[in-house]
Amino acid sequence: MNIRGLQKTTLLDYPGHVASTIFTAGCNFRCPFCHNGELVLDPSSLEPISEEEVLAHLNKRKNVLDGVCISGGEPTLDPDLTSFLAKVRETGLSIKLDTNGYRPEVLRKVIDEDLVDYVAMDIKAGRDNYADACGLPNIDMANIEEAVEILASSGIVHEFRTTCVKGLHTLADFEDIAAWLPGDSLYFLQDYKEGPTVINPVYESFSVEELEKFVEVLKPAIPATAIRGL
Ligand code: SF4
């Protein structure tokens, strides 16, 4: 695995778990609001971390940890993902995968092979706005829609989530997401946060009142909608 970051302990990345988060290099999206600019655009500028080092850390701390979050970048791009997840499985820790859902065949494989316990998939925007939100002008929405269907029918615990970005999203995005995602989904809105590593730092955060308006539109269709981090 091309690992370029390791957060040794986090209470935030894996709901209900004390976890370590592993950051993989590279991404097939170019979300302008991405706050992992170095990992996406220039991962070779970050120190590589070997699988052995990560696994040694997990084994050493498994009396404190109960989960591992595999994040990025986009982990499903890494050809060694499944073999690495199999090694992480041996630690006995619960595994969460963060993904943008653009490689549904990999998502299906890791679920079918019982290599993940929880999946968090980004929903970048309403379908008409997806290309702008993910920075991919020729995006094939069929991949995203397939990933949503895989998760919805998988039986695996999962969430969908959207980073809400003023200047990129409007109420129309959330009206479309309400009509699109399965009604029994767990769906989180997360507010955009400015920072030095954002790819295109021209955006702003929404106010709490604005986020609550989106929730009002979403809740009738997706009752388990919530704002994360308030
Ligand atoms: S936000 Fe996620 S999907 Fe988008 S460019 Fe960054 S790492 Fe990739």
What's residue 199's pLDDT?
87
Q: For residue 133, with 0-12 CB atoms within 10 Å meaning exposed, 13-18 middle and 19 or more buried, which class applies?
A: buried
- On whether the CB atoms of residues 214 and 164 are closer than 8 A, the answer is yes
User: Is the CB of 71 inside a 6 Å radius of any atom of ligand 1?
Assistant: no
27 C-alpha vs ligand 1 centroid, how far in Å? 6
User: Is the CB of 29 inside a 6 Å radius of any atom of ligand 1?
Assistant: yes
**Which of ligand 1's atoms lies nearest the C-alpha of 33?**
1
* pLDDT tens, position by position, 144-162: 999 999 999 999 999 999 9
User: Is the CB of 27 inside a 6 Å radius of any atom of ligand 1?
Assistant: yes
pLDDT band at 13 (very low <50, low <70, confident <90, very high): very high
d(Cα 88, Cα 24) in Å, to the nearest integer?
15
**pLDDT, averaged across the chain:** 96
pLDDT (mean) for 99-114: 98
Q: Which residues pair with 161 in a beta bridge?
A: 122, 188
pLDDT band at 197 (very low <50, low <70, confident <90, very high): confident
Residue 96, both tokens: 């969460």
Task: State how far the alpha carbon of 151 is from the alpha carbons of 33, 40, 144, 156, 159, in Å.
Answer: 25, 25, 11, 7, 9
- pLDDT over 90 (residue 201): no
* pLDDT tens, position by position, 132-141: 999 999 999 9
d(Cα 77, Cα 28) in Å, to the nearest integer?
8
**Which of ligand 1's atoms lies nearest the C-alpha of 72?**
7
What's residue 166's pLDDT?
96
Kindly list the strands in the beta sheet with 157-164, ordered across the sheet, starting from the edge strand earlier in the chain: 3-10, 19-24, 67-71, 94-99, 118-122, 157-164, 187-191, 225-228
| Domains observed in the chain | 3-228 (3.20.20.70)
